[in-house]
Every structure is written in structure tokens, then in C-alpha cells.
Amino acid sequence: MRLLVLLPLLLSTLGSAPGFAQAPAATPLPASVPARIRAVENSLMPYVPVAGLPGWNLLERMKHHRVPGLSIAVIHNYRVEWVKAYGWADTTKRIPVTPATLFSAGSISKLVAAGAALQLVQAGKLTLDAPINTHLKSWWLAENDFTRQQPVTLRRLLSHQGGTSQSAYFGFVPGKGPLPSVVDILSGQPQAESRAVVVNKVPGTGFQYSGGGYLVAQLAMMDATGQDFATLTDEALFRPLKMRSATFAQPLPPALAARAAWAYSENSWFKGVPYVYPQQAPAGLYATPTDVARFVLEVQEAYRGRGRVLTQASAQAMLTPAADVSQGTYREQMGLGAFLLQRADRTDTGSRYFEHTGVNAGFLAYALGSVTGGNGVVIMMNNNNGASELGKELRRAVAAVYGWPAFLPEPIRPLAVAPAALDAYAGRYQRGPDEVVTFRREAGHLVENINDGAEILAYPVASDTVAFTDYAMRGVFTRNAAGQVASLRILETNQLLPRLAPENLLPGELLRRGRIAEAVAGYRLLRLNEYQLTYMAYDLLNARPANLSAAEGLLTLAREQFPQSAVVFARWGDLYARLGNKTQAIEAYQQALRLYPEDKDVREKLLALQP
């Protein structure tokens, strides 16, 4: 295994569209590991590959997506072939990321926790198909009409079919007092700051993602062994697999905390520190990419009967579909702890992959492996915003360079079109009541924006037809009797997007142009609900820079249409606080609490104004 570290570099500012070094061909595989690393670093790409499109450079994309630090481990031929680190673990202290830097793994914790559960099944301490309450001693999952139809079992919990509540947990800011216990969280005690875990759907009747279900599974493991979760996973998995830095200990022990990356997020709720997750099985794992890669390898090796900890039967259970999740370009299914991914046009074993994404406050990670063939990648980053796209771009680069079978969609093969033809498509098209798709020509292709969002490349592939790179979809520009482009039809959905006249501006466009009164009048006609209006106001309040005038206009409309809404008054409190009007902020927060006394966030804001 080759270990490298790249210290942070000063990067040039990105232009409006990526223009980087030419991407190397995916085949043949470069002969040396350094050449493979260079190829990966210069082959980042959009969701749908484009034949001839220059590959994007990793460092430039880190800057584009505002990701401070990243670490990657690449698996090839059933071994960790190389590990490399980029950027900063701590931007203030100027500590670089190294291969030994730990990251919060988020929900990749569930993948690893499932492995621990299966190891206990192998040892006869748990069973997959008995009612989970038969394994619980310190707390029991309440029976109800749903559980009387079908039982909650460990197998169903691990495949998100237990019908349990609490999709996610948000962690705790450190230093705020004692952390709640697992039983506190499951039973919804006040210190847990989350509701009790209950069954709200008939178990076994479909996929329902549930962090709460994994916490139930964690307690079953703890009750079966008499050990805390950090100790049992260390003994069952981390030591045997030489995952030397991996731990479920929360908070991190000082020795490991010294090697952990800091957390970074642009979300307004983020408190600027790494959060603590006593919900260990759902979200509490800390590790390096090498650690996680060793677990991915264990699943791969066990699947072919060569596991150190897991039996072949356990690996097969993890990687056998138990529930359907989604269907599109890819068929996504759920195994035990692992999401299973395969292109919808393929059914062969060689093109099947397993994965899990992890998102915690200020962190994002991807773990991905092939079911057969011994390929994979683990990417961990200390940002939970642009890191989402960066990680996907990077794992596509690994797949392309290493020639993973049928992992990427079929590439777009652009058709050469005269600039005048592309100019005829440029303009604005309406996709929804307040959603505008805009096209402009750039070189031999189009650049698409949805409501002034991120740029999406689109390429001509036939007469009046373009292929998009954010989804495997195509659009046909339709013409009127005079031969002028009048609309865009999305072929896969048959959705028609009429072309908008330059003077016909939708409410969101008016708002972005500062025409607030006209925008508010437009939104009044749309009759949005209170959450839609306040969500837009929230975004405006927390934008960089904030648009307080636009937020005030929307909140005025929200108060007019929803005069007894707690969330409307809560956002008014936020606005007054941003304006420095402490008295009115207090009054707005107090009214929000009168309408919804359980709002802890509003209560904390009020206490901050009334110490």
C-alpha cells in the first residue's frame, strides 16, 4: 500500500466552467501506481461521462466546492493499493490532512455496525429473525398494531425494514453537559433532544430509512454481550481487521482527538465544532479511509469465502437485496447494512456494487466496493456541503481509471453543431410555478442553470436534441409553425417546458433582481404553504451575503397568510435579531413559543437574548 500526503496549495480561481487537463483513457490501466494516482486526480467528471470532455482536476474541484480537506483510499485487486491526503484538517491551525487523519464517518457507521451484528449472529449471541425484543433486556420496543401484524427483527432493522421511526440523529455540541444514554435516546427522554423510537409502519413491508432502528440494534448487541458498543466493536471487528484508528467511542479519546479533522459547514445551524454522537451505531464511527477500506475488503473477501471475521454466509446476507430503494439509471436496493447499486440495464454479478454514504455535521464520506473483482474506494472529507458533489466526481474518476465494469452510465457522444443552432436554444424555460431552467451557449455545448443554481453541462446529440450530464436524460427543443424554438420536452418524463418571453419573470427571478414587491405579489397568487415561505426566508437570511429585504417581504406575506404559525414568528425573530432589533426579536420568539412550546431551537435563541 502506498501512502502519500499532499500539502495544501494555493489554487487559481475557477472560471465559470471547468477547463482542466485532458482526462486519461480509462483503459488500459496506467502501469505504475503514481501514474494511476495522477490519472485519478485529473479525471473527475459529471454524473454522465462525456466523450472527449477534459477531466477535472481534484485540487481545483476542492476549491470550487469549498472543501478544506480530503483523504482517499483506493482498493484494487483485493488490496488497498494507495492512500493519499489533500488539503487542511484544520484551516485555523494550518494542520494538513494526512493518511492518519480521522474523520467522522456519519452513516457509514451503519455499514460497520451491521458487520458487528452479523459477527454476533455467527457467535450465536443474536439471531436475525427472532423478534428483537427477545434480545433486549434494558429497554423494549413498544408493541402496537403494526408489530402485532409482523415482528421487528434484527434482519429487518439492518435492512431498514423494521418500520421504526427517527430517520436521522443530529448529534450534540460538546461541553453542554452529560450525554444521554442509549436508553435515554430510545425512550425519548428530554436530554436526548429527539423523540422516542417507535414502530410507525408494518415491519417487513418496505424500505424506511431509520437511524432509530440501528440504535435498537445497537442496544441488542450491547445487551447480548454486556459490553459498551465501542468495546464490543473494537474486539469483534477493529482489532482482528487491523482497523487501528477506528472507534465508536464518543466523545473521541484524547489520543485520537489529536489526529481528528476539524468540522466545516456552511449550514446556518452549524455551531463551528465537531459534534458528538452518542447514537453510535447510526452515526458515531470515527476512522481513516484506510480503516474503512479494510472493512470493505473484509466484506469482499468474506463474500468469496476468505473473510477473517465474517463468514461467507454473513457477507452474502449483507449483499443480497432485501428491499427496493429506488429505480432509475441505477437500481438501488438494500441489503443488511449495505446499499446495493447496479445499472438498471445490467443483471450480472460483475457489475454489482455495495456502498454507504455518511453525513454528519461538518463531515461527509463515501464507502464503495464491488461485490466481485476486488475494487473500491473510500473518500472522507471535512465538509458536508459541496463535499457531496466532490466525492461523487472523485469516485467516478477512480471507476473510470480502474475500468470498473458498468459502474458509470454510457457516455454522451456530442454532435458537432453550428453555434447559431445552439444560440437558438439559449433562453429561459419554465419547469414549475417558480422554477426556471436557463440555457446559454458555451463553445460547442450548452450550460444549464436551474433557478440560478449550479451549472450543468448539456451536449447536442441529434437534431434539436441535447443530453444532460446531471441525469441520464435527454431533451428535445420543439418549434412553432414559424420554426422558432418554443419549448423543451424531457423525453424520459414527457415533461414540456414552455419557453418564457424575456419580460415574463417568475416570482423567484423578481426576488433575485430586487423587485421585492412584485415578487411578493407573485407568491401571493401561488398560495405557498407556511413552510415553503419560511424556508425561502431562512435561506435568504443565511445567504452570503444575506438578503434581509427580500426575507422581510416573504415573511410579511407569511404573517398575512398564516397569522398563527409558530414557524413564521420564529423566522421573524431571526430577522429582527439579524437587524439588531433585540426587543422585537424577543417578542417574536416568545410568540413562537406560545404557539409551539416544544421548539428547543427557539428557546435557546430566546435564552441567548435574555441571559
* DSSP per-residue letters across 115-177: HHHHHHHHTTS--SSSBGGGT-SS--PPP-TTTTTS--BHHHHHTT-S-B-------B-TTSS
**If we measure between CA atoms, which residue out of 358, 357, 303, 353 comes closest to residue 332?**
353
**Which pLDDT tens digit goes with each residue over 119-155?**
999 999 999 999 999 999 999 999 999 999 999 999 9
Confidence band, pLDDT 50/70/90 cuts, at residue 27: low
Confidence band, pLDDT 50/70/90 cuts, at residue 4: very low
DSSP secondary structure code for residue 234 in this structure: I
pLDDT value, residue 2 = 39
DSSP secondary structure code for residue 414 in this structure: P
Confidence band, pLDDT 50/70/90 cuts, at residue 209: very high
Characterize 311-333 residue by residue with b for buried, 16 or more Cβ atoms within 10 angstroms of its Cβ, and e for exposed.
Answer: eeebbbbbbeebbebeeeebbbb
- Kindly tell me the sign of the dihedral angle through the C-alpha atoms of 560, 564, 570, 573: positive
**Cα–Cα dist 84/394, whole Å:** 13
**Cα–Cα dist 214/116, whole Å:** 12
pLDDT at 8 over 60: no
> How far lies 445's CA from each of 7, 24, 366, 414, 463, in Å?
36, 21, 31, 8, 13
CB 381 within 8 A of CB 393: no
Q: What are phi and psi of 541, to 5 degrees?
A: -65, -30
**Which pLDDT tens digit goes with each residue over 172-196?**
999 888 999 999 999 999 999 999 9
Tell me the domain boundaries of the chain.
103-401, 419-498, 513-609
Question: 304: Cβ–Cβ under 8 A, 6 or more apart, which residues?
Answer: 312, 372
Residue 468, beta-bridge partner list: 458
**Cα–Cα dist 535/574, whole Å:** 12
Number of other CB atoms surrounding residue 501 within 10 Å: 9
The fraction of the chain above a pLDDT of 90, given in percent, is: 92
> How far lies 458's CA from each of 45, 124, 163, in Å?
13, 55, 41
Number of other CB atoms surrounding residue 464 within 10 Å: 17
pLDDT value, residue 19 = 36
**If we measure between CA atoms, which residue out of 380, 385, 371 comes closest to residue 301?**
371
For residues 270-292, average pLDDT:
97
**Which pLDDT tens digit goes with each residue over 84-122?**
999 999 999 999 999 999 999 999 999 999 999 999 999
CB 101 within 8 A of CB 72: no
Q: If you search the block for the grid coordinates 397568510, which residue do you land on?
A: 561
**Cα–Cα dist 346/332, whole Å:** 12
pLDDT at 23 over 80: no
- Kindly tell me the sign of the dihedral angle through the C-alpha atoms of 347, 311, 293, 361: positive
Question: 68: Cβ–Cβ under 8 A, 6 or more apart, which residues?
Answer: 87, 88, 89, 91, 262, 264, 382, 383
Question: How big is the chain, counted in residues?
Answer: 611
Look up residue 387 and give its three cell numbers: 463535499
Q: If you search the block for the grid coordinates 426579536, which residue do you land on?
A: 585
**Which pLDDT tens digit goes with each residue over 345-401?**
999 999 999 999 999 999 999 999 999 999 999 999 999 999 999 999 999 999 999
pLDDT at 160 over 80: yes
pLDDT at 21 over 90: no
Look up residue 239 and give its three cell numbers: 482489532
Confidence band, pLDDT 50/70/90 cuts, at residue 598: confident
pLDDT value, residue 610 = 86
pLDDT at 231 over 80: yes
**Cα–Cα dist 343/356, whole Å:** 17
pLDDT value, residue 600 = 83
Residue 12's identity, in one-letter code, is S
pLDDT value, residue 233 = 98
DSSP string, 339-388: EEEEETT---GGG-EEEEEEEETTEEEEEEEESSSS-EEEEEES-SSTHH
**Which pLDDT tens digit goes with each residue over 308-338?**
999 999 999 999 999 999 999 999 999 999 9
**Which pLDDT tens digit goes with each residue over 294-310?**
999 999 999 999 999 99
Residue 595's identity, in one-letter code, is L
CB 23 within 8 A of CB 400: yes
Look up residue 327 and give its three cell numbers: 429505480
**Which pLDDT tens digit goes with each residue over 498-526?**
999 999 999 999 999 999 999 999 999 99
Residue 451's identity, in one-letter code, is N
**Cα–Cα dist 438/449, whole Å:** 5
pLDDT value, residue 176 = 82
**Which pLDDT tens digit goes with each residue over 410-446?**
999 999 999 999 999 999 999 999 999 999 999 999 9
Look up residue 153 and give its three cell numbers: 427483527
Q: Does domain 103-401 have CATH number 3.40.710.10?
A: yes
Look up residue 144 and give its three cell numbers: 402496537
pLDDT value, residue 16 = 35
> How far lies 212's CA from each of 93, 147, 165, 178, 189, in Å?
36, 16, 6, 21, 14
DSSP string, 380-403: EES-SSTHHHHHHHHHHHHHHHTT
* Distance between start and end Cα atoms, the chain: 55
**Cα–Cα dist 343/341, whole Å:** 7
Q: What are phi and psi of 392, to 5 degrees?
A: -70, -40
What three-state secondary structure class fits 524?
helix
Q: Which ranges constitute the DSSP H helices of 161-288?
A: 182-186, 211-225, 229-233, 254-257, 280-283
**Cα–Cα dist 142/195, whole Å:** 14
Q: Which ranges constitute the DSSP H helices of 419-479?
A: 419-425
pLDDT at 14 over 70: no
pLDDT value, residue 177 = 87
**Which pLDDT tens digit goes with each residue over 114-127?**
999 999 999 999 99
Q: Which CATH superfamily is domain 513-609 in?
A: Tetratricopeptide repeat domain (1.25.40.10)
Confidence band, pLDDT 50/70/90 cuts, at residue 15: very low
CB 308 within 8 A of CB 317: no
